Structure 1
Amino acid sequence: MADEQELQKAKALVETLERELSARCSPIDVYKAYYRGEQPLKFASDEFRKYHGARYRDFADNWVQVVSDSPVERLTVTGIKPYGADKADGESMRVWQANGLDADSQLGFLGAVTSARAFALVWGDPGDDETPVVTFEDASSCIVAYEPGSRRMRRAALRRWQDGDTYMAVLYLPGEVWKFERPVDRRTKTEDMADVDRQLDGWRPREMRDEPNPQPNPMGVVPVVELLNRPLLVDDPISDVAGVVPMQDAVNLLWAQLFTASDYAAFPQRVVLGAERPMIPILNAAGEVVGERPLDLEKLAADRIAFFSGENAKIAEWTAANLEAYTKVIEVAVGHIAAQTRTPQHYLIGKMANLSADALLAAETGLVKRVEEKQLWYGQAIREVFALIALARGEDSKSRDLRSGYMLWADAESRSQAQLADALLKLKQIGFPFEFLALRYGLTPAEVVDLLAMIERENQLDPLGAAAAMMAQRPAPAEDAVALEGDLLAEETA
């Protein structure tokens, strides 16, 4: 067990990081609620909220989810190539797959897009030295402290979560790892009693049966990596949802007003003018008139009976309200969301009338660039995750190569099979190797290895056919290659 001075220092660091983490949680909780469609009615007048707010409590025309999901569905890690290597590292991807990160990475990317940041944690597995444990963590449960003046050198990290009526926390330092716990905050009636509770319910070292606390950190670095979404030089990263929330509130209000207008004025309304409401006499047991009561107009309407009194009575009509005015404003608001977030309009509006393939590609250019930006920023963090995996396996040299390598992603652009095949054929004709073309086609490095093995087996079974195929696929002469390259550049420009 550590001495008292080290314990108090670690405890103070946990309390400081927790305060910062708690301050971040408020906007994160809002963004996650909007993603789920839990959106309170905003911008409504007090009178509208009083009479109609309750009926729209559970309604939301949820565009936040579409904006968040659209880039994530195109963010797929296919491998990592270490610095100086000719091929992607298969063992790193084995660990990636063994931890289920082909699916969980999507959750991490979605968390970063929605909450402005997400985290990845790497730690060794006592039961399997070759396969470290890698998990993605939510922005409301982790925080990383960096060296002064650096955005990458990590000094400490805190992971906090609730287990029943107890908060658990793990403090990661380059040389050691501390585990703490404390009771969930109590509800007290006075400030003095709150101070007493805080003193009694502060962080304390967690009782560990089979391991020391603190325990040494064999990797020598903080094993928590932060994935930043739209980072800034001197400020916090920005969520893709932050700019959508106000317009989402406006769209929900417009729908609420449209529904209310359709309830009251969507159909022609007939009104009787110049007539008093008909009254029915009230008789006692002897048949004498002892009073009167108004006629039940709803019963008259149900029985299809019209009743008018007064010589000046006449019928007038109010025309139905034009609800198209609301829908046009909603379309404008949704168009603003599309423009601000670089989400294709056909993702939001759903109108695709006679769009050519080139027009569809042009419409998705903003989304493709948005995805490529995220591949750049998230890729830096994922490279560090792979470097930590190597460190956890005791492979220091490989860790340096992975940290300096580059990520392999699935193509962010969505193209038809015919377009893709035509582009790859032209690249083949100007000399690009088959392995490169297979990766551009969308195969993972492991699938490319399997494909090359299949081709090798086919060549062994039919050597003459393989030789003929090699002759047919030889690169074109230099002048033809220049012409083909010009055609390809012209096509990409168009």
Structure 2
Amino acid sequence: MAQQLLAVLNRDGARLRRIDDYLHGRHADPYMPPQADDEYRLLAHRAVSNWMPLLVSTPAQSLYVDGFRPGATGQGLPAEASSTTAEWAHWQRSRLDARQAAVYRGALTYGHAFTVTERSRAGQVRTKGLSALRTAALYEDAANDDTPYAALTVTAWPSADTTGRARLWDARHEYAVTFKSLEDKKGITVSDARRHGSSECPVTRFSASVDLEGRTVGVIEPMIALQDRINQTIFDLLLSQTYGSTKVRTVTGMAPPVQRDPETGETVLNSAGQPIPLAINHNAKRFLFAEDPDVKFGSLDETPLDGFINSVDMSIRHLAAVSQTPPHHLLGQIANLSAEALLAAEQALSRKIAEYRVGFGEAWERVFRLAAELAGHASADDYHGEVIWRDMESRSLAQAADALGKLREQLGIPARGLWRRVPGVTQNEIEDWEQHAEDEDPVGQLATALRRATPEPAARPVPAAA
């Protein structure tokens, strides 16, 4: 298994590193002639206009888990989301409020990311993210299985003086792995087997999209060709701007002034016996004139840049359409757009985010089941729980209040059932509202007091079996 997993990292390493380079602005150079000088290469370096981080950040900033609702209780009703459940306590203990964003960004960038749920040395169950550049997993059916039968993550890459180290998990045990290189199968050593405490591999895959072949694709790899086209167009724009964007003044039939000896006034000659011309200080504030009537002045027109600018604008629009990113997010053109137009422009992005939430939500539910099993809770077999995503749509509080009021009045939905629809509300705020609502309800307070004052009937003893 260690050989297979390291071989997967070796096979996918070049592709994932290329994606990582494009994310961080290390793009392929635009086309240049073979004899390009340093000035050309400097313009090629400045032509890189990196749009990739925006393609990742736009959907990632709309993915935020804000609560967890356990599955059906003994009465057959789903439990209410609460900040006191064991699942949410595990979430807070693992500091996933802040760390969940790194998991989403990794999955959107490379196509997949991983988490591992394990018990620490202090006995606490925690979940942490694993990078796709360092982690690989094996599945019997990569397209449909959510549980790998083995996974490996590299903790230290090998160098000239030290061997690489990795951690390997299967359904029951965790192993320590050392290796000399990803290609050297004979240099792999597996040791230090110990039980990790779960009934299945504790590594969970978060995939942006998985096809029926089990292949994962992020948002960057399909956009590399468009990014290269944008860089090439901007490079051509810089060339035209640098060498041809200004008018060139010309003069014919006039010799430039030459250097003269200040004492004798004779012309100074160079080593070849030719007069040395003086540099002409010419700018927009100076005029050229000549006494000879045969001298002619002229100019060469500048290169128009409108075509290059329109080509860049078109390429960015293509990028927005293919990536399902609203054009105003990339172009910054939001003037004179009505609320309906903005909503229509963001529908494609909303559908894409909804697809990501389904896949990532299933992965988080498996994480909660693994954590419950390691902690010994009964919710280890809860397949009906669901994560609650924060509403990140761009709606004003007045619009939301008007819509929620209509739902309350026209459809008769209880007010408490609509609290979670308030933009930006958190689980702690909802629980605070519930406490205030109980404090302001005298009938409810009386019922609670009577219920607490009434002793519960003693349970009947169960007769012993004959």
TM-score range, shorter chain: 0.7 to 0.9
Aligned to 2:137: 144
1:368-403 per-residue CA deviation (whole Å, 9 max, x = no partner) reads 1110000011111111111111111123x41211x3
Aligned to 1:234: 213
Deviation at 1:315, TM superposition (A): 1.2
SS at match of 1:297: coil
Which is worse superposed, 291-300 or 58-67? 291-300
**Structure-to-structure mapping, 1:214-253, within 5 angstroms:** 214-253=193-232
SS at match of 2:353: helix
Give the letter for the 1:16 counterpart: Q
The 1-side partners of 2:316 and 2:358 are apart by 28
The 2-side partners of 1:47 and 1:178 are apart by 54
Aligned to 2:461: none
Match of 1:417 among 397, 411, 414: 397
Equivalent residues, number: 430
Aligned to 1:479: none
Aligned to 1:36: 24
Aligned to 1:363: 345
The 2-side partners of 1:97 and 1:47 are apart by 59
Task: Give 5+ residue unaligned stretches, structure 1.
Answer: 1-12, 186-194, 207-212, 464-494
Aligned to 1:4: none
Which is worse superposed, 175-184 or 375-384? 175-184
Match of 1:88 among 81, 84, 89: 81
SS at match of 1:414: coil
1:144-199 per-residue CA deviation (whole Å, 9 max, x = no partner) reads 111247532421001113268442111101121101224568xxxxxxxxx9xx58
Question: Taking structure 1 as reference, are residues 285 and 199 closer, same or farther at Cα in structure 2, changes over 3 Å only?
Answer: farther
SS at match of 1:214: strand
Deviation at 1:123, TM superposition (A): 0.3
Aligned to 1:490: none
Give the letter for the 2:226 counterpart: M
| TM-score, normalised relative to structure 2 | 0.83
Match of 1:168 among 155, 165, 169: 165
Give the letter for the 1:151 counterpart: D
Match of 1:449 among 414, 431, 449: 431
**Structure-to-structure mapping, 1:422-441, within 5 angstroms:** 422-429=402-409, 430-441=411-422
Contact 2:168 2:174 in 1 (8 A): yes
Contact 2:156 2:164 in 1 (8 A): yes
Aligned-CA RMSD value: 3.1
SS at match of 1:362: helix
SS at match of 2:219: coil
Contact 1:281 1:292 in 2 (8 A): no
The 1-side partners of 2:137 and 2:69 are apart by 27
Which is worse superposed, 132-141 or 310-319? 310-319
**Structure-to-structure mapping, 1:48-59, within 5 angstroms:** 51-59=39-47
Contact 2:52 2:220 in 1 (8 A): yes
**Structure-to-structure mapping, 1:155-304, within 5 angstroms:** 155-162=149-156, 165-183=162-180, 198=184, 202-205=187-190, 213-274=192-253, 280=259, 291-299=273-281
Task: Give 5+ residue unaligned stretches, structure 2.
Answer: 73-77, 446-466
Aligned to 1:383: 365
Aligned to 1:458: 440
1:68 aligns with 2:56: yes
The 2-side partners of 1:54 and 1:138 are apart by 33
Question: Taking structure 1 as reference, are residues 310 and 15 closer, same or farther at Cα in structure 2, changes over 3 Å only?
Answer: farther
Which is worse superposed, 433-442 or 289-298? 289-298
1:104 aligns with 2:99: yes
1:99-118 per-residue CA deviation (whole Å, 9 max, x = no partner) reads 11111111110111111111
SS at match of 1:292: coil
Which is worse superposed, 146-155 or 251-260? 146-155
| TM-score, normalised relative to structure 1 | 0.79
SS at match of 1:61: coil
Give the letter for the 1:423 counterpart: A
SS at match of 1:421: helix
Deviation at 1:237, TM superposition (A): 1.3
Deviation at 1:265, TM superposition (A): 2.1
Question: Taking structure 1 as reference, are residues 388 and 298 closer, same or farther at Cα in structure 2, changes over 3 Å only?
Answer: farther
Contact 1:275 1:309 in 2 (8 A): no
Question: Taking structure 1 as reference, are residues 309 and 279 closer, same or farther at Cα in structure 2, changes over 3 Å only?
Answer: farther
Report the structure, 1 or 2, having the larger helix content: 1
Identity %: 24
Question: Taking structure 1 as reference, are residues 372 and 270 closer, same or farther at Cα in structure 2, changes over 3 Å only?
Answer: same
Question: Taking structure 1 as reference, are residues 184 and 147 closer, same or farther at Cα in structure 2, changes over 3 Å only?
Answer: closer
Contact 1:278 1:307 in 2 (8 A): no
